Structures are given as structure tokens and as C-alpha cells.
Amino acid sequence: MVRPKSPDFVLFFAVIGLLSLGIVMVYSSSAISAYVNFSDSYYFLKRQLLWASMGLIFMFAAMNVDYHVWRKLSKHILILTLILLVLVLLPGLGKVVNGARRWLGFGSFYLQPSEIAKLSMVMFCAHSLSKYQDKITSFIRGIGPHLLLLLLVFGLILKEPDLGTALVIGGTVFILLFTAGAKISHLASLGITGVVGVVIAIIVEPYRLRRLLAFSDPWADPLNSGYHIIQSLYALGSGGLFGVGLGRSREKFLYLPEPHTDFIFAILGEELGFIGTVTVIILFFLFAWRGFRVAILAPDIYGSMLAAGITTMIVLQALMNIAVVTASMPVTGIPLPFISFGGSALIFTLAGIGVLLNISRHVNLK
């Protein structure tokens, strides 16, 4: 057996750079609200440090486990994920926060099944598409089973409701189908159907429709549906080229809702300016470049699909978050990978990075 090489250090340091910047910004953006709500300015920082430590442990562990192991376990992980997605919807089990039932847990420990769903769907689809690649040009036998699975997962997550995460999973599976060699005509039909489905999902839920209307003209309702977008743009605009200085944001003084989660990029732009936001974008670009390079050079189809899926999942989520914060798309409530505050998201994203780094150990990246 060939001894695994060193992991892709460009990919590794891009992730560590984003994670380190995220920890700094979580504290800077959350200190005020943490003091007001918990009488402890370090409340969110301490939890983020704990979750980052756990995530790094998972990352280093996965980096040293042959990625083919996940092929054997992918079906079992997916079944467990589906069970958790059902359990979170049951009254008394799922925890409701701000009208959304997305968490399972007891006491101070909570788990978000939709975050597990992102990684488990990538693992299962990478296995299935590589195993039955000869059928991918058939809509019924190739795309059909994956579409039914996607609709099931999409529907369960949408029921929470969590449209942002559902869209990330849908977009990632779409890219995997393209990577596997599905016909463009089939993908085009699937894409049109998906767009229609998203439009219907927006129309049937009044709060989603309000967000869409606010996106088109946030100043039409500046104190309600357009409030998030306006405050986010104020934060970004106030930053200028070099920012107002780390820790000196004004918007985090309870003006911008969720400054340490969904809108942390706006606070980063306010405090570190255009230079700070470009730095984050460059780090994500480096991550995307090296991640897709690993996918191209992977030693087998499964490794290629798995690397492409993990990279797409993270890059797509980053693009959506930045688009929301810059008013380039309607508010979807999705965190910025590695940077936003959050336990399940950070832990399972870093676990996925560990798998990606393990694949990079089996390819020649020179």
C-alpha cells in the first residue's frame, strides 16, 4: 500500500486563517449582546472556542482516516440523519428558537440535524453516483433516485423551516449530478423545476414573501422586513477602505440583528473595511481552488465526487451568506462557514474539511 502523503497545506492554512479570523470576529461582534443578555462579554467567545476545539479534533481525526471508510458508512450515516430530521420536527423533542424548530438536545447541548444532512448527503451521493455512473445519463435510473432522496431531505429541512440550508443541499447535489456526467437537458429541466419549487415555497410562506419584497426595495419597509438589509448595508458602507477599527463597530450595539451569526460579515466589513472583506473572499477563493484541484486529481471517481461535494457545499454557503449581507439576494438565514458563531455548523464543516484533507493526501498536488 502506498504511504499517504502530506495534506494540502494551502487548503489547510486557508481554513485555519478563516477559523482564526472567525473567532476574533465572533468575540468582537457578540461582546455587547452577550453582556446585555448574559452579563458575560465572553459568553459566545467561550462557546465558539469550545466548538472550534471539538471541530479541529474531528478534522485531524478525519484527516487520518482513509476516505474510503466513509463509502462503507455513508448509507448508515444517511439513515441516521433522516431519523434526526424527523425527530427534530416532533413537539417536545425539537427546540423552537425564533419560530424555527431546528435543534435537538438537552440542557446546554444542542445538535442541528440539518448540518449533519449537508455532509451525509455529500457522502451518500458521492458513493451512489460513483457506483452507478453508467446509469447517470438515464433520468429514471440515474437522476431519479437521487432526486427523490433530495426531495425528501429538502422537504424535511424546509419544514423546520430552513430554506437556506435546503438550498445549499439542493445546489450541492445538482453540482454532483453535473460532475457525474448527467445530461445537460436533464439538469436544465431539473433546474427549472427547482426554481419553480423555490418560488412556490416563498409564496406560500408570508415571511419568505416579505423577505423577497424587502430585497427588491428594503427602504419600503425600513423598520420591519427591510431592517436587516438596511443595517447590514450601513455597516458595510461605514467601513470604507480600512474599517473603523477592530472592536469599534456601531451596528453591533443592538442595531444589526444576529451580528455574530448570519450578519457577521457586515460587522467584519464595518470594523476591518474593504481590506478585511477582500481578505475573507481571497481565503475562500484559495479554499475553492485547492478543494476543486483535489477533486480533479483524486485517485478514483468516489474521491473526486466526495472532494467536489464538500468543496461545493462550503463555497456555495459562503457565496449565499455574502450575497445576503451585501443585499445581492433575499435574506435566507444562513451562516458564513468557519466565521459565524455556531456549534453544529462549525463542528461538521471542520469534519468535512478533515475528509477533504485526507483525499488530498492521496494525490500529487505539485
pLDDT in tens, 251-266: 998 888 889 999 999 9
In a domain, 365, yes or no: no
In a domain, 366, yes or no: no
In a domain, 268, yes or no: yes
- Model confidence band, residue 1 (pLDDT cutoffs 50, 70, 90): very low
DSSP 108-148: TEEE-HHHHHHHHHHHHHHHHHHHTGGGTT-IIIIIHHHHH
Asked if residue 20 has pLDDT above 70, the reply is yes
pTM score of the predicted model: 0.93
Cβ–Cβ under 8 Å, residues 346 and 111: no
Give the mean pLDDT of 334-339: 94
Walk across the sheet containing 109-111 and list its strands: 94-97, 100-106, 109-111
Q: Which pLDDT score is estimated for 153? A: 95
How many distinct structural domains can be found in the chain?
Answer: 1
Give the residue among 168, 331, 165 at the shortest CA–CA distance from 257. 331
In a domain, 1, yes or no: no
Q: Which pLDDT score is estimated for 3? A: 62
Give the mean pLDDT of 315-333: 90
Cβ–Cβ under 8 Å, residues 113 and 106: no
The values of phi and psi at residue 335, to 5°, are -75, 165
Asked if residue 4 has pLDDT above 70, the reply is no
Q: Which three cell numbers stand for residue 192?
A: 427549472
Give the residue among 86, 18, 14, 17 at the shortest CA–CA distance from 286. 14
If one compares 332 and 30, the residue with the highest pLDDT of the two is: 30
d(Cα 221, Cα 210) in Å, to the nearest integer?
10
In a domain, 338, yes or no: yes
CA atoms within 13 A on the CB side of 255: 15
Q: Which three cell numbers stand for residue 267?
A: 460587522
Give the mean pLDDT of 51-71: 96
β-bridge partners, 106: 109
The pLDDT tens digits of the residues spanning 187-231 come to 888 888 878 877 777 777 766 667 666 677 787 777 777 788 889
Asked if residue 272 has pLDDT above 90, the reply is yes
In a domain, 3, yes or no: no
Q: Which three cell numbers stand for residue 348?
A: 461538521
d(Cα 186, Cα 181) in Å, to the nearest integer?
11
* 318, containing H or E segment: helix 301-325
**Domain range for residue 78?**
9-360
d(Cα 299, Cα 283) in Å, to the nearest integer?
26
Q: Which pLDDT score is estimated for 85? A: 94
